[in-house]
Structure 1
Amino acid sequence: MSVVFVHIGLPKTGTTHLQDRLWRNRDLALRSAGLLYPGNVISDHFHAAVHLQPDRYLDWVDPAFAGTWPTMRAQMKAWPQASLLSHELYATARPEHIATLLDDLSFADEVHVIATVRDLARQLPSVWQENIKNQREATFDEFLHSVHTHGPALPGFTPPADGGIEEPFWEFQDHVRILNDWAAAVGPERVHVVTVPTRRDTPGDTIWERFLRVLDVDPAPLTIPVPSLNSSLSSAQAEFLRRLNGRLQPTDVEWRRYERVVKGQLIGEILFEAPSGPPRGLTSDQRTWVAQTADEMIAEVRAAGYRVSGDLDDLTVSRLAAGDALPPTMQDVLDVALDTLAEVVKTAPLPAVGPRRRTRAMNVVRRVRRRVTGLRRSL
């Protein structure tokens, strides 16, 4: 039977780890479990997701990759067993996009949807950091105020008419609304929720194993490992970057330069490699409303009757303080800034001799030559 699984994220729930591990083990998964992970390169899944939503991702839709989705679709159509699509940008698909995708997948006997979901206490700091890595300037408290004000699409909730600027969060993280949209198209019995474990030391119960259980894939033959990447900034590092963003807005620097210099070098090569502390966390007051929101969202998911791999209790948020990092001091931020600048100086390529310096040097040479020539003539 032909079955297509669509993994829709959510973002910041271990998706990169899952996708990288699936891609590296795709040949083993095909041989051992009959699972096809289509595409010629791993980025094909990204291009397929953005081309499904050209209105939402206009800047990323590249005509050069217009043939990517038709190629992936043909690969899955030719495969008689299970196939998997995976990208977190499917989380932003609206009903019209979902309908288009299902029409393209009409060759399959069944289409199932998988959502990986993590508790709000970990998601909120993680998403705020991700926003900061992409030129956003909101403080953590401003970000949380926006999240609280605009809220998820829960029964009885109406966003205020003038709630201020909405920081990016619920569009990607409102799993109640997102799951409802997909369930309306494929049926709740074909929607799978994979919860991110709160503990990482339980044998046989990692996010990887919970995910593979949905696909009915034995993890044992998938032996190719992936590197463990630490992508979390400390509270002081995040605040340094946030303040730096105030000087590096789109009017100040083009995205390509920001992406390569700030994301690639400052973050990827310097901040991630530097000794760091815990990331920014929630205060006791913030935990109160976050826990209440989490409880309401869990109740909605439980009532919907989706299949769960893991435990919905993993999504609960404790109302008690959990040793969350407080705001950094200015000295902490200054230390990070100076350490980062020092690493830039140590590792930056030596600059070429500038035109002014060359001109000055040549002028000195010319003056010496004129003096020597004049002296010879006088003799």
Structure 2
Amino acid sequence: MPPSDDLCVPDGTRLLHVGPHKTGTTSVQHAFHTSRPALARQGIAYAGADSQPMVQVQTLVDAYTDRDVVGSAKTLRPWKSFAREVRRSRARCVVVSSEFFADARPAAIERAVDDLGGGSGPWAERSGSSGLHVVVTLRPIAGLLASQWQQYVQSGLRADLDTWLTAMLHEADTTRLTPTFWWRHRHDRLVERWAAAVGTDHVTVVVADRRRPDHLLRVFEQLTGAAEGTLSAEDDLANRSLSWSEVELIREFNRQFTKAKLPKHMHLQAMRLGAARYLQARPRDASEPKVRAQQWALDEAAGIGAEMAGAIAASGVRVVGDLADLATTPEAGDGVAPTEVSTRLAAAAAMGVLHASGMTEPYRDPDELPVRPVPTRHVVRLGRARLRRKAKQVLSGDDDANG
């Protein structure tokens, strides 16, 4: 169905966008973040200080293991502080967006719903609002295979595309590779988990329209009651997909990094928040091939997409867009990865690592590529949480970056 004025949530609502990954989340978050003054004039608050509260949400998600054992109060401090900000806001609508909510286990979901206020808060008390409304944005599963693989590579995955696709589509019940993939991207079950926590009448599924790049932004304007045009899309070079050559360079880095037995948080800073971001901020070399899955993988993913569409349609949640689009496929590739990279590309990656170290900050040119060092306290905090979860995964045989 097309967007309509009927989408607007009641005053006092906290609108929680839970992703999942690779469904237009970055564009939505960037638009809300850069439009804060215009939104505030309309009584809408975008929670947090950055484009998304990644550290705070991952703190919550990481505090609950597969057995739903809560972490220490100290571990949860960043999340609790963020949730307090959301609850105390006097805006008529508070928007929270992070795709990392899609990683949450049921106990973490329950905690998020409770901590974000349910039916409490200044506006909710005056308006009688039910408090929380969850938005899930979706795109075809076949269309996000390649982009999600390269995202895992940025996080340390060493497996090539074909190995990873085979594991996800043929060995999902036994593989140790990227166990978060189907937890995030079995979209019907993702919707079911959140609907169980807030009720089906408080969940909206938005299927992205590839024919209309601004579709998601227009829907979010109508959900929040913002004037049309308040949220604007900008060309975000730093969020472009990596070329296959760039991904293969990072995969080789991952192999060398693992061989050196260096700590995980160092990879986070040097590669994912350093070299990978630097590479994304450079114009794509037209000679570098795009990452494309083979036809067999796209066909199998399309079948899964059709199953998910049917389950979502039967769930009773509100749907904006065409669920049939979840079964469509992009252009296929031949599955042949490049075996060599240019010296220019290798040098760009090295510069990204150098920038991530912070050593270049005193000499930085204001016109240079938009890469900044990550504050050490954030890296240490996130690194420690990741290391704790990693240790539990290794002990249980569940290794996200295995391969």
Q: 2: CA distance between counterparts of 1:38 and 1:346?
A: 33
Flag the 1:56–1:50 CA change in 2: closer, same or farther, 3 A: farther
1:232 equivalent in structure 2: 241
Match of 1:335 among 333, 341, 344: 341
Q: 2: CA distance between counterparts of 1:223 and 1:237?
A: 29
- The structure with the larger Rg is 1
Match of 2:295 among 281, 284, 288: 284
Deviation of the 1:324 alpha carbon? 2.8
Flag the 1:181–1:256 CA change in 2: closer, same or farther, 3 A: closer
2:160 equivalent in structure 1: 139
1:254 equivalent in structure 2: 263
Deviation of the 1:250 alpha carbon? 7.6
Give the secondary-structure state (helix, strand or coil) at the position aligned to 1:229.
helix
2:206 equivalent in structure 1: 194
1:310 equivalent in structure 2: 321
Deviation of the 1:278 alpha carbon? 4.4
- 1:150-209 Cα offsets, whole Å, 9 max, x none, are 55xxxxxxx4xxx232324112212111111111121112111111222246xxx52222
Give the secondary-structure state (helix, strand or coil) at the position aligned to 1:333.
coil
- 1:191-241 Cα offsets, whole Å, 9 max, x none, are 11111222246xxx5222223233232232446957443421222332232
Q: Map of 1:264-283 to 2, 5 A cutoff? A: 264-270=273-279, 272-273=281-282, 274-276=284-286, 277-283=288-294
Flag the 1:224–1:167 CA change in 2: closer, same or farther, 3 A: closer
Give the secondary-structure state (helix, strand or coil) at the position aligned to 2:95.
strand
1:184 equivalent in structure 2: 196
1:299 equivalent in structure 2: 310
- Tell whether 2:253 aligns with 1:241: no
Q: 1: CA distance between counterparts of 2:347 and 2:301?
A: 39
Q: 1: CA distance between counterparts of 2:229 and 2:350?
A: 46
Amino acid at match of 1:112: H
Match of 2:135 among 114, 117, 127: 114
Q: 1: CA distance between counterparts of 2:157 and 2:279?
A: 20
- Tell whether 2:99 aligns with 1:88: yes
Whether the 8 Å CA contact 2:137–2:206 is kept in 1: the answer is yes
Whether the 8 Å CA contact 1:234–1:279 is kept in 2: the answer is yes
Whether the 8 Å CA contact 2:44–2:93 is kept in 1: the answer is yes
Whether the 8 Å CA contact 1:112–1:186 is kept in 2: the answer is yes
Moved more, 262-271 or 235-244: 262-271
Flag the 1:242–1:200 CA change in 2: closer, same or farther, 3 A: farther
Q: 2: CA distance between counterparts of 1:224 and 1:148?
A: 34
Amino acid at match of 1:253: L
2:114 equivalent in structure 1: 103
* Root-mean-square deviation over aligned CA pairs: 3.2
1:175 equivalent in structure 2: 187
Displacement over 6 Å in runs of 4+: 344-349
- Tell whether 2:62 aligns with 1:51: no
TM-score, length-scaled by structure 1: 0.75
Q: 2: CA distance between counterparts of 1:46 and 1:62?
A: 19
Amino acid at match of 1:339: R
Whether the 8 Å CA contact 1:211–1:309 is kept in 2: the answer is no
Flag the 1:62–1:254 CA change in 2: closer, same or farther, 3 A: farther
Whether the 8 Å CA contact 2:200–2:317 is kept in 1: the answer is yes
Flag the 1:340–1:173 CA change in 2: closer, same or farther, 3 A: same
Amino acid at match of 2:278: E
- Tell whether 2:24 aligns with 1:14: yes
Give the secondary-structure state (helix, strand or coil) at the position aligned to 2:256.
coil
1:30 equivalent in structure 2: 40
Flag the 1:346–1:190 CA change in 2: closer, same or farther, 3 A: closer
Whether the 8 Å CA contact 2:237–2:281 is kept in 1: the answer is no
Flag the 1:116–1:44 CA change in 2: closer, same or farther, 3 A: closer
Sequence identity (%): 24
Flag the 1:224–1:198 CA change in 2: closer, same or farther, 3 A: closer
Flag the 1:287–1:77 CA change in 2: closer, same or farther, 3 A: same
Matched residues, number: 327
Moved more, 117-126 or 100-109: 100-109
Deviation of the 1:247 alpha carbon? 1.2
1:362 equivalent in structure 2: none
Deviation of the 1:22 alpha carbon? 0.5
Whether the 8 Å CA contact 1:194–1:309 is kept in 2: the answer is yes
Structure 2: tracts of 5 or more residues without a match: 1-10, 356-403
Whether the 8 Å CA contact 2:18–2:100 is kept in 1: the answer is yes
Q: 2: CA distance between counterparts of 1:224 and 1:121?
A: 24
Whether the 8 Å CA contact 1:20–1:226 is kept in 2: the answer is no
- 1:62-92 Cα offsets, whole Å, 9 max, x none, are 9598256345434533426221111111112
Deviation of the 1:116 alpha carbon? 1.0
